[in-house]
Every structure is written in structure tokens, then in C-alpha cells.
Amino acid sequence: MATPAPYRASEERYANLPSFYNRCGRSGILLPKISLGFWHNFGDDAPFERSRAITRHAFDNGITHFDFANNYGVPFGSAERTFGRLMDEDFRPYRDELFISTKAGYDMWPGVYGEWGSRKYLMASLDQSLSRMHLDYVDLFYSHRFDPNTPVEETLQALVDIVRQGKALYVGISNWPLEPLRRAVPYLREHDVPLLIYQGKLNLLNREPIETGILDFCREQGIGFIAYSPLAQGLLTDRYLDGIPSDSRMAKEHFLRSERRTPELLDYLRQLQDEAQTSGRTIAQQALRWVLEQAGVTSVLVGASSVQQLTDNLHAVI
């Protein structure tokens, strides 16, 4: 792909206001119903111009929320680095229109300070993320997973102090079980850094946040909920109906294994496809709409390996 012309965001990017945005819990923040995740398809293993085209297309269509973690991309950190280049080349004039999140929690660098929930790790990781993304601050910083061996107050106080330092505007929690989450909410509130949002896996094939009561708890507490892998990494689309495409996530046999493509899943997908077609939708649109219909869900965080996939996903709601 040739280098495209200098970027000017579409004048139409907010044409779908306000139906495209949901309030994030009881906060001042509105998030798009469809947000873009940079876990796959934006690292050094992906063509840069394709990553650029997807990111531009997202923003041109009102997707103001981009989600990262320190370890996104191959190698780790490369998705944030890709975005740093995009900030420099395309998005700097639009910084105040963007809501950018990153996280720390999983294995990031060698040794005993490169993962989990210590103050040492969280602080250092965010500094690294800011430097890779060429940003002074992120809008949202998450604890990416609960650390059973670090006092919960240490992790939470690090989040509070990160906000006090001006390196993040809001804090979030991802993948924590309900019990520590119940302890986190009052702690953060008492320290004047109320929890903005919880990020959890929710899709038609995985309803854990509903079953554990996390989604209800967030709603009751005025905390937003953003659903990750709403398409079950691509399973809930037409991608695998007729086989395993060589350029698909499943073909890599890492995060999405081919044993997930069972006869039962294919039967379910065909049924979903029939339902979708009666309302003129695709499987992906049907799956995204189901997540967005769950009470308390603020946004779905989709991945996309092409502009076409993102367009399909956007049409779930616009």
C-alpha cells in the first residue's frame, strides 16, 4: 500500500451524535458504542498502512476510543509504538477528541518487576507506554488483572497516584473477580479517583460478567462496562463458516485455536446467521447488538484486521 495523503479527519465524523455514544456509568465521559482495540493487527507483525487505514476509518466514523495495553502487538509494545507514529503523522491535531486507554498487569519485561500489580510495575509500565505512544497522558489507565499476592491497597494507591501525577485522567479495572472489585470501588471513591469503567470479556459464547454479577454490580455502582472480544475473537462472524482462512487469527493457532471450531459451533453460527438475515444483518452485527443490549454495557471493544470488517461492525449500530 502506498503512503496515503496527509490526514484530515472526515467532517462527518460526528454525524451520528448522540445515538452513537453512551454515558460511561455516572461520569462525565461519553464513549462510542463501538470502540477499537489494538491487541491484534497493529503490531510490527501487521502492515503499517493497513493499521493506519483502520485507525483513520475508525475516527472518521466517530470511534473516539482506542484501547491498548503495554503488551499488545508482536513484539510486546509494538501496537503502542505503531500508535505513537500515527499520533505524530495523523492524530496530533485531534488529541483532545480521543479517549485513549492502556493497561498493565500481564508479563511485560523480564525479572520480578515486569508483571502483576505492584506500584513499581504499574508506574514504570505507564511511563513506558506514554513514551511509546508519544503522549503526555492517557485518558484511562487500567489494572489489567488482579494480583492475589500484592495488597490490593498497593495496586489501588498506585492508580490513585498515577492520576495525581497527571499521567492518566481516569482509572479502570479489567478482569478482576467480584470480591476484590467490591473492595476497590470504595477505596478509589474515598481517594477521589472513582472507578470509571470495568473491562471484561462478554459475548454470546461467554456470559461470565452476567453470571458472576459483575455487570450488575457495575451498573448499581455507576461504573461503566466495556466488553472485550465481543465477537469471541472472530468466532461470532462468518469468518470460519467454510473453513479456516490462512490470514485469520485461528490460522495462527495461538490465541484462537482450531479446536474451537466445533460442529456445535458451526450449527450455532448457521442458526445465528438465519436470525441475522431476517433482519438484514450479518452474524457479527447480530453478536455485537446482543452485547450492547445487556443493561449496563457502555461499549463493545472490537478488533478488526481490515477496514471492511470495521465497517461491518459499525453497521451493527449505525
Ligand X SMILES: NC(=O)c1ccc[n+]([C@@H]2O[C@H](COP(=O)([O-])OP(=O)(O)OC[C@H]3O[C@@H](n4cnc5c(N)ncnc54)[C@H](OP(=O)(O)O)[C@@H]3O)[C@@H](O)[C@H]2O)c1
Among 231, 276, 292, 314, binds ligand X (CB under 6 A): 231
- Show the site string, 69-108: x = touches ligand X by CB under 6 A, - = not: ----------------------------------------
Cell 461470565 -> residue = 208
Question: CA–CA separation, 95 vs 80, rounded Å?
Answer: 15
- Show the site string, 246-275: x = touches ligand X by CB under 6 A, - = not: --xx--------------------------
Evaluate whether 204 touches 297 at the Cβ level (below 8 Å): no
| Cell output for 265 | 459451533
- Show the site string, 278-297: x = touches ligand X by CB under 6 A, - = not: ------x-------------
Number of other CB atoms surrounding residue 210 within 10 Å: 16
Report in angstroms how near the CB of residue 237 gets to ligand X at its nearest. 3
Q: Which is nearer to ligand X, 188 or 302 (CB)?
A: 302
Report in angstroms how near the CB of residue 288 gets to ligand X at its nearest. 8
- Which of the stretches 33-41, 83-91, 115-123, 271-279 binds ligand X when contact is defined by CB under 6 A? 33-41
Of residues 102, 180, 179, the one with CA closest to residue 144: 102
Among 77, 172, 194, 234, binds ligand X (CB under 6 A): 234
| Cell output for 59 | 475516527
DSSP labels for 128-189?
A: HHHHHHT-S-EEEEEE-S--TTS-HHHHHHHHHHHHHTTSEEEEEEES--HHHHHHHHHHHH
Q: Which residues make Cβ contacts (< 8 Å) with residue 111, sequence separation at least 6?
A: none
Q: Which residues make Cβ contacts (< 8 Å) with residue 112, sequence separation at least 6?
A: none
Q: Is residue 174 close enough to count as binding ligand X by CB under 6 A?
A: yes
Q: Is residue 155 close enough to count as binding ligand X by CB under 6 A?
A: no
Among 229, 286, 298, 299, binds ligand X (CB under 6 A): 229
Considering only residues 54 to 73 of the shown chain, the ones binding ligand X according to CB under 6 A are 67
Tell me the CB-side half-sphere exposure of residue 247, using CA atoms within 13 A: 7
Q: Is residue 230 close enough to count as binding ligand X by CB under 6 A?
A: yes
- Which of the stretches 83-91, 113-121, 155-163, 307-315 binds ligand X when contact is defined by CB under 6 A? 307-315
**Degrees to nearest 5, angle at CA 180 with 176 and 185:** 95
Q: Is residue 41 close enough to count as binding ligand X by CB under 6 A?
A: yes
- Which of the stretches 35-43, 178-186, 188-196, 217-225 binds ligand X when contact is defined by CB under 6 A? 35-43
Question: CA–CA separation, 42 vs 129, rounded Å?
Answer: 15
Residues that bind ligand X (CB under 6 A): 37-41, 67, 144, 174-175, 199, 228-234, 237, 239, 248-249, 284, 301-305, 309, 312-313
